[in-house]
Amino acid sequence: MLTDDLLELQRIDTTTDQLIHRRAHLAERVASTEASGQLRANRSRRAAATTRDEELEQAIGGLERDGDALTTHRTRLEAQLKTVIAPREAEALMHELATIAERRDALDDQELAFLDEQSELAGEVARLDDAVPELEAAAEAAAATLATAESAIGEELAALATERAGLVAGLDAAAVERYEFLRARLGGVAVAKLDGTRCSGCHLDLSRSELDAVKHVGAGEFADCPQCGRLLVP
């Protein structure tokens, strides 16, 4: 019967929709996403650490150049101090030498702080590198498990597609067109079964006269649910 064929078509399409939804929300997909995310996070942290280390290396180089310039200036002032006779001039030179010493101490402190940070970064990079083999193995294993699960669902979908094609080939084109129209409009469910006095599609009860009309539909014709508009099969 046409109604039975449409019910079977609906079953195939509903099963297909469920499989597609399940494939999109596989627990294996979540696990694979998490595993690959952890690997990406590791690589991102390592890249950030490497970038920071390069910045520190440049900063340390700048501090060393500034320190060398201060040393050269101090040497020149010390040589001047040896030739100065006037107390006021000597006092000015001594003050400038003290200022240079303070600046040099500040540069040294900053360089030590940068060197300490570089040491911490080196430790972090080593830890990140040590974790890579395990993270890569976990990501590969999770991806393989996901591929297996997707493949199994893909085989089911392929079998359903073949079954659907054979079924549709034997159906009236106008009936299939109407079915597809209703399926698109009604959330994927175009055909519903009459369950007692209730439409299984919208779960609403039909009146006595509506039930009568559904049960006395002629061969090759369709009964519509008066509530939701789905094709209703007694």
Percent of the chain residues past pLDDT 90, beyond the cut: 75
pLDDT in tens, 104-120: 999 999 999 999 999 99
How far apart (Å, rounded) are the C-alpha atoms in residues 96 and 198?
99
Q: Which residue has the tokens 């001039």?
A: 89
Spell out the domain ranges in the chain. Answer: 19-169, 175-233
Q: Which two tokens stand for residue 82?
A: 């040896």
**Residue 191: phi, psi to the nearest 5?**
-120, 135
Which contiguous run of DSSP H or E holds residue 192?
Answer: strand 191-195
Where is average pLDDT lowest: 95-99, 101-105, 205-209, 215-219?
Answer: 215-219
Cα–Cα nearest to 175, from 3, 14, 11, 17: 3
Of 186, 188, 169, give the one whose Cα is nearest residue 227. Answer: 186
Structure tokens at 49: 């650490």
Q: Name the amino acid, one letter, at 115.
A: L
Per-residue pLDDT averaged across 72-90, rounded?
91
Q: Does domain 19-169 have CATH number 1.10.287.1490?
A: yes
Q: What is the distance between the alpha carbons of residues 95 and 106, in angstroms, rounded to a whole number?
A: 17
At 220, the pLDDT band (50, 70, 90 cuts) reads low
CA distances to 7, 15, 130 from 19, in Å: 18, 6, 40
Burial of 66 per CB tally in 10 Å (0-12, 13-18, 19+): middle
Mean pLDDT of the chain: 93
Amino acid letter, residue 60? I
Q: What is the pLDDT of residue 219?
A: 60
Q: Read off the tokens for 146.
A: 């996901």
The yes-or-no verdict on residue 218 having pLDDT over 70 is: no
**Helix 87-169, helix 27-83: angle, nearest 10:** 170
Per-residue tokens: 95: 């003050």
The predicted pLDDT at position 1 comes to: 59
Per-residue pLDDT, averaged over 204-211, amounts to: 88
Helix ranges (H only) for the chain are: 2-24, 27-83, 87-169, 173-185, 208-215
pLDDT in tens, 2-46: 778 888 999 999 999 999 999 999 999 999 999 999 999 999 999
Residue linked to tokens 């034997």: 170
